[in-house]
Structure 1
Amino acid sequence: MHKTKAALWEFLQGLGRTFMLPVALLAFCGIVLGIGSSLSSEAVTDNLPLLKAEGFHLVFTWMAHTGLVAFTFLPVLFAMAIPLGLAREDKGVAAFSGFVGFAAMNLAVNFFLTAKGVDLKDGKAIEHYGIADVLGVRSIDTGLLGAVAVGIVVSLLHQRFRTQRMPDALAFFGGLRFVPIVSALVMSVLGLLIPLLWPAFNGWITAVGRGIGHTGVFGPFFFGMGEVLLRPVGLHHILVAMFRFTDVGGSGTVCGDHVSGALNLFYAHLDCPAAPDSAVTDATHFLSQGKMAAYLGGLPGAALAMYHCARETMRPQIKALLVSGVVACVVGGITEPLEFLFLFVAPWLYGIHAVLVGLGFLTAAVLGVFIGNTDGNVIDWLVFGVLQGSTTKWYLVPVIAAVWFAGYYFLFRWAIRRFDLKTPGRDAEPEPERAGDDAKEAETGRPPAGLIAGKYDAVALLDALGGAGNIRSLDNCVTRLRMTVEDAGRVDEPRLKRLGAVGVVKLDAHSVQVVIGPQVQSVKDALAAMIPVG
């Protein structure tokens, strides 16, 4: 039972991690789409006639169309990214098989509907089945859920059949070549079941979405709070994806097309000249303007409070840590480097932080702030707020952020001093790390060879993780290393923090996460190069 629970936990961790590749592309495409659509719109060009010049208009229209890449092909991107991320080896074959499986599933759906005599252009049939064009095929639009199902099935097939041996006469089709073949066959069979199951299943999802919609501004409140509470264990990606890309986050018609998911609705609105209806504005309450109170105001206020509460002799040492955390939060929308500074020393304070983030979502919804996108950073505020005009009510964000800044500052300053919380700069000065290459630095006066981003010593980090033999698998998400280890007890948490880690999360005896920050990809690559393959 324990092994099954651990395996399920590891799988969910890995699944959430796979979302990061398409989501990163989506965030970038959203910015490009936002800039292009705003600077080519009549509302902006009427005020800035220079932008009506043919050259400018063509460039910004091209940007808007380029930004639609991720939005238009989002399901197939997830169907490819999930097996790519879950595969241990031969990742290219896994991703290719994901595309094959997704295409086969939709072609099978088209076959079933056609063989059954369903009129694919009939309004009632379209509404009942959810018929839409998917990769140029009239099929059922299963959205993110269908793509996730394809990705999971294909990843399992890849794991099972990538070394499949065939008889001599069929040896050409064995091994890695068999993975896309079996993916096409299995997903084609499963595709025949979708028209039988999807209408009922989609009805349940829609009912959940309507139930959340009936909660009004409290829906965004619980969403924002839930995302923060799930972040320490890395499962927030799954919650966020459900709201962004399925009916749970809302659904409606934009320029004649039915669209599901808060983020999908928002991007469809950017590409539609008509004014957004209530479905779009309500769904956008789950997007980035709700984060801005905490991201642009609250957490920087908490960082200032931690700085002022540190011992004066320690302030110069923690200043760079806090400043880099604030920059990551305000510019990049990455909060973990700051959140993990107080998560483990005062979990109850992190709980209050989660409530305050939820209240930020509620406040933005009540005041009708309409900005959207994903990150909640200053770039979102500029591109999707300021550039889109006063109808977004972007001018309220600095006011809200200032209130949250003051609230967080005085709350954290009081809590740190009242309960003597050991936030950075309040504990004993750490002994300098003198292991491996660091010892050479002490002797020679030169920094250790292979230092990453001028801060992280990969050799010492690997040793603090228990050595290469302790690591079964290694991957990363946006800010943290995610590992399966032989024994979590061999992971030296204090030493990892001395080596620059922000925090360490031991989920069970074998699952460990180390919060690094924005340089995590470079750290992961350096560690992976020192771990023997096989």
Structure 2
Amino acid sequence: MATSATPKITLWEFFQQLGKTFMLPVALLSFCGIMLGIGSSLSSHDVTTLMPFLANPVLQSIFVWMSKIGSFAFSFLPVMFCIAIPLGLARENKGVAAFAGFVGFAVMNLAVNFWLTAKGILPTSDPAILKANNIQSILGIQSIDTGILGAVIAGVIVWLLHERFHSVRLPDALAFFGGTRFVPIVTTFVMGLVGLVVPLIWPFFAMGINGLGHIINSAGDFGPMLFGTGERLLLPFGLQHILVALIRFTDAGGTMDVCGHTVSGALTIFQAQLSCPETHGFSESATRFLSQGKMPAFLGGLPGAALAMYHCARPENRHKIKGLLISGVIACVVGGTTEPLEFLFLFVAPLLYLIHALLTGLGFTMMAVLGVTIGNTDGNVIDFVVFGILHGLSTKWYMVPVVAAVWFVAYYAIFRFAITRWNIKTPGRDIETANVQEKLQAGAPGKSGYNVPAILAALGGAENIVSLDNCITRLRLSVKDMTLVDVDALKANRAIGVVKLNQHNLQVVIGTQVQSVKDEMANLMNMVEA
């Protein structure tokens, strides 16, 4: 939702919005990963030997079907990113932007194929030549494999073209091709030219990514700690998705030959090995950046912090915050969504959050040192079962509960000491908690369970909101006048935290129901405008 009064986007805001667009393909990726993990593990020889009843032909057909369906997202990941980026960034005519994203990606690779053919490199089926030039089959086109980074660059270019030309007016004789129809047309022309440049500049991009990967890998077992800590430190600013995508999908996360194909990125390597029948076990160099590293903090540490916050609350307030903490723990342990717990102490005790980030990174290193090999993305109990237990003792899944228990005790001790020693105002410690609860009860919650009219009023009303969007747990807004935003009123209506990025942009941390809150608010704003 946007108006003509939208402030000019800054580079910081652009990277935030870009990171948000990654969530659409990553969400599908997570689901497909679970499908692939369950299907491939239950159809493996080791599992059927251990549980012979699973060898039933009907069950095996179902498991193979799950594997095939689950492999979809990993087979077409770059094109999904190139579609999702203009879709997410576009303010208007999002469907046209998404369509142009697909057109741009396909045309770019066709142009690369033309260049390789003109140079005499193609056509060929010689594995040595294909590998030397990093040529893969992309959408059935032999082209240079630019991976996710190439798709992101292409997606941004398509978005810029869409924003510039989606409302263009052509002369009457050409009016049929004007407006939104012109976007895929100009995209075809521009991306055709970009495809001719890709073979010339891509080696330099590849060198840069390889250099970053070398730095991380040269850090040895501390490389995962740098990644894990960096991801947590970037999370409050909404920029963690950039780092995550770089490690999961580019050469910075490693490169490996799997089933005769060269694949890059920690998650891509893991999923390729998961779907390759010739592979037994998973690469430690890839999984050390994946789910296993999050598990000490997600399954042990943050629940320990939640218990410490509960015990440190005033006795008369504990029953009021119990539901908040329990829902946060469930979101973290089952869903891998940590913000509902992290934002309870981020703003009142940044030092505690820094300690949490360091302990999360240390969890990555600990899992790597112990040789655990559990992949996927979420670090929750589902990943632990599907990609750890179901794949047998070779994943060393049995080390996770041990380390998680140690992290639980460490977090509990650190948080309880810090909260009581420095009187940190975590939930339930403020005397005003009772008054806040009364305010919550006074509101009329909608289908989302939140008093959305009150939240809208606390943001200065519909007329103060220039743009409204959301990510997994946060409302992302641009406002005309930041002074009209009442932070206390937002928190009184169950906002976990408020992040003011600059004089026009802020984020309101809601939790896992943020999509419902955003939809209700958008409907209210539309009613006001009508």
Taking structure 2 as the reference length, what is the TM-score of the superposition?
Answer: 0.95
Q: Is the 1:309–1:416 contact (alpha carbons within 8 Å) kept by the matching residues of 2?
A: yes
Question: 1:74 aligned to 2:69?
Answer: no
Question: 1:522 aligned to 2:516?
Answer: yes
Report the counterpart of residue 43 of structure 2 in structure 1: 40
Report the counterpart of residue 3 of structure 2 in structure 1: none
Question: 1:511 aligned to 2:502?
Answer: no
Give the alignment of 1:226-237 within 5 angstroms: 226-237=230-241
Q: 1:354 aligns with which of 352, 357, 373?
A: 357
Cα distance in 2 for residues equivalent to 1:281 and 1:268: 14
Q: 1:220 aligns with which of 218, 224, 236?
A: 224
Question: 1:240 aligned to 2:244?
Answer: yes
Cα distance in 1 for residues equivalent to 2:257 and 2:409: 41
Amino acid at match of 1:244: R
Cα distance in 1 for residues equivalent to 2:346 and 2:272: 37
Aligned alpha-carbon RMSD (Å): 1.8
Q: 1:466 aligns with which of 441, 460, 464?
A: 460
Greater CA drift, 514-523 or 121-130? 121-130
Report the counterpart of residue 291 of structure 2 in structure 1: 288
Cα distance in 2 for residues equivalent to 1:380 and 1:109: 38
Q: Is the 1:129–1:195 contact (alpha carbons within 8 Å) kept by the matching residues of 2?
A: no
The residue matched to 2:469 in structure 1 has which SS? strand
Q: Is the 2:281–2:394 contact (alpha carbons within 8 Å) kept by the matching residues of 1?
A: no
Amino acid at match of 1:230: L
The residue matched to 1:165 in structure 2 has which SS? coil
Give the alignment of 1:168-183 within 5 angstroms: 168-183=172-187
Question: 1:492 aligned to 2:486?
Answer: yes
The residue matched to 2:476 in structure 1 has which SS? strand
Cα shift readout 1:158-192 (whole Å, capped 9, x = no counterpart): 11111111122211111111111111111011000
Count of equivalent residues? 521
Q: 1:133 aligns with which of 137, 141, 160?
A: 137
Report the counterpart of residue 204 of structure 2 in structure 1: 200
Report the counterpart of residue 340 of structure 1 in structure 2: 343
Q: 1:395 aligns with which of 393, 398, 408?
A: 398
Cα shift readout 1:249-283 (whole Å, capped 9, x = no counterpart): 111101110000000000000011234588x3202
Cα distance in 2 for residues equivalent to 1:193 and 1:124: 23
The residue matched to 1:514 in structure 2 has which SS? strand
Q: Is the 1:130–1:199 contact (alpha carbons within 8 Å) kept by the matching residues of 2?
A: no
Report the counterpart of residue 408 of structure 1 in structure 2: 411
Q: 2:153 aligns with which of 144, 149, 152?
A: 149
Q: Is the 1:157–1:182 contact (alpha carbons within 8 Å) kept by the matching residues of 2?
A: yes
Cα distance in 1 for residues equivalent to 2:134 and 2:346: 44
Cα shift readout 1:468-518 (whole Å, capped 9, x = no counterpart): 111111111100011111122221111111101100000111110010000
Report the counterpart of residue 102 of structure 2 in structure 1: 99
The residue matched to 2:391 in structure 1 has which SS? coil
Unaligned runs of 5+ in 1: none
Question: 1:273 aligned to 2:267?
Answer: no
Q: 1:163 aligns with which of 151, 163, 167?
A: 167
Question: 1:19 aligned to 2:22?
Answer: yes
Cα distance in 2 for residues equivalent to 1:309 and 1:434: 22
Give the alignment of 1:417-428 within 5 angstroms: 417-428=420-431
Report the counterpart of residue 451 of structure 1 in structure 2: 446
Cα distance in 1 for residues equivalent to 2:9 and 2:30: 32
Report the counterpart of residue 482 of structure 1 in structure 2: 476
Q: Is the 1:483–1:511 contact (alpha carbons within 8 Å) kept by the matching residues of 2?
A: yes
Cα distance in 2 for residues equivalent to 1:204 and 1:356: 29
Alignment CA distance shift 1:432-1:346 (3 Å):
closer
Q: Is the 1:224–1:354 contact (alpha carbons within 8 Å) kept by the matching residues of 2?
A: yes
Cα distance in 1 for residues equivalent to 2:132 and 2:460: 56
Cα distance in 1 for residues equivalent to 2:486 and 2:34: 40
Q: Is the 2:284–2:372 contact (alpha carbons within 8 Å) kept by the matching residues of 1?
A: no
Amino acid at match of 2:481: D
Taking structure 1 as the reference length, what is the TM-score of the superposition?
Answer: 0.95
Cα shift readout 1:100-144 (whole Å, capped 9, x = no counterpart): 000000000001111111134334432332100000000011010
Q: Is the 1:298–1:409 contact (alpha carbons within 8 Å) kept by the matching residues of 2?
A: yes
The residue matched to 1:386 in structure 2 has which SS? helix
Cα shift readout 1:330-388 (whole Å, capped 9, x = no counterpart): 00000001001111111011101100001100000000010010000000000000001
Q: Is the 1:84–1:94 contact (alpha carbons within 8 Å) kept by the matching residues of 2?
A: yes
* Displacement of 1:210: 2.5
Amino acid at match of 1:452: K
Cα distance in 1 for residues equivalent to 2:8 and 2:166: 26
The residue matched to 2:10 in structure 1 has which SS? helix
Amino acid at match of 1:453: S
Give the alignment of 1:48-63 within 5 angstroms: 48-63=51-66
Amino acid at match of 1:394: W
Amino acid at match of 2:113: N
Unaligned runs of 5+ in 2: 1-5
Over the matched positions of the two proteins, sequence identity in percent amounts to: 61
Cα distance in 1 for residues equivalent to 2:391 and 2:375: 11
Higher relative contact order (CA 8 A, sep 6+): 2
* Displacement of 1:89: 1.2
Q: 1:306 aligns with which of 309, 333, 344?
A: 309
Q: 1:258 aligns with which of 255, 262, 274?
A: 262
Q: Is the 2:312–2:416 contact (alpha carbons within 8 Å) kept by the matching residues of 1?
A: yes
Q: Is the 2:496–2:511 contact (alpha carbons within 8 Å) kept by the matching residues of 1?
A: yes
The residue matched to 2:418 in structure 1 has which SS? helix
Give runs of ≥4 in structure 1 deviating > 3 Å: 3-6, 122-125, 275-278, 432-435
The residue matched to 2:80 in structure 1 has which SS? helix
* Displacement of 1:429: 2.4
* Displacement of 1:434: 8.1
* Displacement of 1:211: 2.7
Cα shift readout 1:440-480 (whole Å, capped 9, x = no counterpart): x86xxxx62x61333x1111000001111111111111000
